[in-house]
Structure 1
Amino acid sequence: MVDRHGHFALREAERGTTALRRILIFTHTGRQEAITAALETCALLNSAGAIPVMRRKDQAAMAEAIGAAVPSVQVLGEDCQIEDVDLGVVLGGDGSVLRAAELVRASPMPLVGVNLGHVGFLAEAERSELASTVQALVNETYTVEERMTIEVKVWLDNVCLAETWALNEAAVEKANRERMVEVVIEVDGRPISTFGCDGVVMATPTGSTAYSFSAGGPVVWPDVAALIMVPISAHALFAKPLVISPDSIMAVEMLTRTDAGAVLWCDGRRTIELPPGARVEVTRSDRPVYMARLHTTPFSERLVNKFELPITGWRGPAKEESRRPATTALPVIGPGLQSVDPHYRDEPGLPMVGKPESQG
C-alpha cells in the first residue's frame, strides 16, 4: 500500500494548506439511481467544505435529467484541471470504475468506487455508506494502493497494428459463434501449447475476479505480483490456467490454418479485430491505477462477502494466549512403524510391501 500523502504532498504545498479539496464525481448519467447518488454526493461535499467537480457532459446530462442546473459544481477542464483534483469517486458498478480508470490513468489521482451495481468487486463502499464515505474522503482518512495494469500490443507481419492497456484483462475471443479460433499460447518467447478454443484471457490480479474468474481462472490476491493466462473452452488435454511472473511476456498467436476471425477486448471497452496470423503481446505496465481504500478489510473477507461464500463451521486459529505446548513429547517415528519401499533392492519383481526398519 502507498500512503495517500506520499503522492500529493508536493501539490498540497503548492496549493497551500487552506485550499479546499476537490473531488471528481463519475456517475452513470443514464441511470436515475446514479443521478440521485451524484446529486447527494455533491450536496454532501459542499456541506463538508469540499468542492465537487464533474465533466461538462456529465453535468449537462444531469441538469437535463433533473430539469435544473447542478449547484456548486466545478467543471473539469474549465474551472479546474485534473492536476487540481485530489480524488475521484465513482458511483456505479465495476464497469463505471473501469471507465473512470481510463480517464484518469495519466494522473496519479486515486479512485474510490461506491457500488450501485451487483457484485461490485472494485467498489470500496456500498450505496448505504455514501455519507460516511464522503466524510472519509474529505477528512483524508484513507490509504491508497497500486493496482497493476498491463500493456497490450497487436502485431501482424512485424507491424504494430494497435497498442493499448487494461486494468482487468486483455481477452482474445472468437468473432463468430459457430467457429473456434486456433491459437498458440506463449510465455517469454517459448510456445506452451496450441489448440482450438473460444478464446484466451490474459489478466492482472485485479482482473482475476472478473472475466478470468468466469473462465475458470484462479483468484489472485491484489497485492500478488503476477500475470494470468486462462484459455476459454479449449479443445485440448492441456489447457490449464497459468500464473506467470510479472516480468514475463505473454502472447497469443492466431494460426493461419483456418480463416476464423477473432477480436481483442481490453476491459470490455477497447476492441480491435484480429486477422489470421495476428499476435497479441501482453506485459506488465509501469503505470498503475491507484485505488483508495477506506477499510482495512482483508481481501479474503471481501472475497467471502462479495461471492457470499459458505464459511459455516470455521473455528479459526487458536488465540496466542490460549496456545500451550504438549505435556508429553510425541515421537516422530515410534517402535513398530514401517517405511514402505516399492520393492526390496534384491527382489525387484516383488510388489510394494511394508519393510521393517530393522531390515534396512
Structure 2
Amino acid sequence: MGTFTVGLVPHPTKSVVDSVAILRDWTTRSDAHLLAMTADAARVGDGVELVDEGVFRERVSVVVALGGDGTMLGAMRLVAERPVPVLGVNYGNVGFLVEVEPRDLPEALDRIGEKQFSLEAHHALEVTHTSSGFENTYLAFNDVSVARRPGEGVVSADLVLDDTPYGFYKADAIVASTPAGSTAYNYAAGGPILSPAVAAVVVTPVAPMSGIDRSVVLGPRELLRFEIGDGTHSAALEIDGRVMADVSAGCVVALRLRRDAGQVIRLDADRHGRKGRLKLSLLDLPLREDQLLELVPSDVRARFRERGEHGERASVSYTHLTLPTTDAW
C-alpha cells in the first residue's frame, strides 16, 4: 500500500497555522505525509513538503481545504481530473459546503483515520468559451454566469439545447447552476433549489427584460449553449464566482454536466444538511443582526452579550448563530 498523503489547500489570506499544526501532528502520529503547493509556502509554514501543482494532484490521497466555500471549490477543481476526497474546514463566512469547524478538526481527523465517514458526490459543469476562433475550457462546481458590466449594455443570448433553439434571454445576467450551486447565485435570483440527489442543471435569468423570464431545469445529458447576441458589448464570464473571461456579441458559452466530478467527505451528512437548511431559512429573513438575535434562545442571547461586554467579537449574524445553536433548537 502506498503512503497516505494529505494535501493542504489554505485560505489565500486568513491565518490557518493552528489547523496546519494539528494536521502536522496528526500525520506524524498516523504515519501519513503532509503536502502543499509551493505557491502556498508562506501560509502553511515549516514541516510540510512543497511541490508544484501537477505533483500535488498526482500524489494526494485526500485534500483538506482550510477556508470557506470558495477555498473548498478551488480544491475540488484542483483535483477534478483525479477526484480524491476533500474535507472542508471552515475559515469562511457562510460555509454551505464546508462541514468542520477548526476546533473540531482533531476529532474529524481521527474519524477519517478510522474510516468513519461517507463520501458525497458532486456534479460539475464543463464550460467551453469560444471567442474569435479561440477556445478555453473551465470547470464549475457551483455555477456559471454571464453577467453585464455596468455601462456596457445587457446580456443578450440565444439558448440552444442539443443544437435546437429553445428561446432567448435579455437580462442583467444568466446563471447556470449545479444542484449544489443552486443555493447560491441561482437562489438569490429567485431560482429553485435542486436536491443534491438530482443530476440536473438549472438556468435562471437575473432581472430579465424580455425573452425567457423564469428558470429552466435541464437533464444531465443535454448539451446547452448560450450564443451571445447583439447588445452584449462587454459581459463577464464567471466560474464559481471568479471572472475568467470577457464575453461579447458572437461568443459562444457551451455547458455540459459532468457527473460525480468531485467527492466531499461528510462526517455527519444529516447534521450538515440540517444546518444548511437552517442557513437558507435565515437568509430569507428581512432582519437586522440585532433583530435576528431576538429569535434565538435566551441562554444563547446572554452568551453573545457577555462576549460583547468582555470586548470579544459579538457578531450575531446567521453564520455565527447556526453553529452553536443548531443542535439545541
Task: Determine if the alignment matches structure 1 residue 136 to structure 2 residue 119.
Answer: no
Corresponding residue number in structure 2 for 1:303: 276
Contact 2:176 2:201 in 1 (8 A): yes
Corresponding residue number in structure 2 for 1:153: 128
Corresponding residue number in structure 2 for 1:53: 35
Corresponding residue number in structure 2 for 1:31: 14
Deviation at 1:178, TM superposition (A): 5.9
Count how many residue pairs are aligned between Structure 1 and Structure 2. 283
Match of 1:217 among 179, 191, 216: 191
Contact 2:152 2:232 in 1 (8 A): no
Q: C-alpha root-mean-square deviation of aligned residues, in Å?
A: 2.6
Residues 233-284 of structure 1 show CA distances to partners (whole Å, capped at 9, x for unaligned) of 111374111111111122222212x352212111123511112121211111
Higher helix share: 2
SS in 2 for 1:46: helix
Contact 2:152 2:234 in 1 (8 A): no
Corresponding residue number in structure 1 for 2:153: 179
Corresponding residue number in structure 1 for 2:250: 277
SS in 1 for 2:270: coil
SS in 1 for 2:35: strand
Contact 2:10 2:43 in 1 (8 A): no
Distance across 2 between alignment mates of 1:205 and 1:171 = 15
Distance across 2 between alignment mates of 1:97 and 1:107 = 16
Which residue type is aligned with residue 24 of structure 2? Answer: C
Residues 206-250 of structure 1 show CA distances to partners (whole Å, capped at 9, x for unaligned) of 211122222221111212111110101111374111111111122
* 1:1-360 correspondence to structure 2 within 5 Å: 12=1, 15=2, 19=3, 21-32=4-15, 34-63=16-45, 70-71=46-47, 73-76=48-51, 82-156=57-131, 159-177=133-151, 179-236=153-210, 238-256=212-230, 258=231, 260-269=233-242, 271-285=244-258, 288-297=261-270, 300-309=273-282
SS in 1 for 2:75: helix
Distance across 2 between alignment mates of 1:280 and 1:254 = 8
Distance across 1 between alignment mates of 2:199 and 2:272 = 15
Unaligned runs of 5+ in 1: 1-11, 64-69, 313-360
Deviation at 1:187, TM superposition (A): 2.8
Corresponding residue number in structure 1 for 2:326: none
Residues 187-222 of structure 1 show CA distances to partners (whole Å, capped at 9, x for unaligned) of 333333334211101111121112222222111121
Deviation at 1:306, TM superposition (A): 3.0
SS in 2 for 1:251: strand
Q: 1:49 to 1:176 in 2, by over 3 A?
A: same
Q: 1:23 to 1:219 in 2, by over 3 A?
A: same
Residues 78-123 of structure 1 show CA distances to partners (whole Å, capped at 9, x for unaligned) of 9x75443220111110110122122212213111111111111111
Deviation at 1:307, TM superposition (A): 2.8
Which residue type is aligned with residue 37 of structure 1? Answer: S
Contact 1:175 1:261 in 2 (8 A): yes
Bigger Rg over Cα? 1
Distance across 2 between alignment mates of 1:201 and 1:86 = 33
Distance across 2 between alignment mates of 1:154 and 1:286 = 20
Corresponding residue number in structure 1 for 2:299: none
Deviation at 1:27, TM superposition (A): 0.8
Contact 1:119 1:307 in 2 (8 A): no
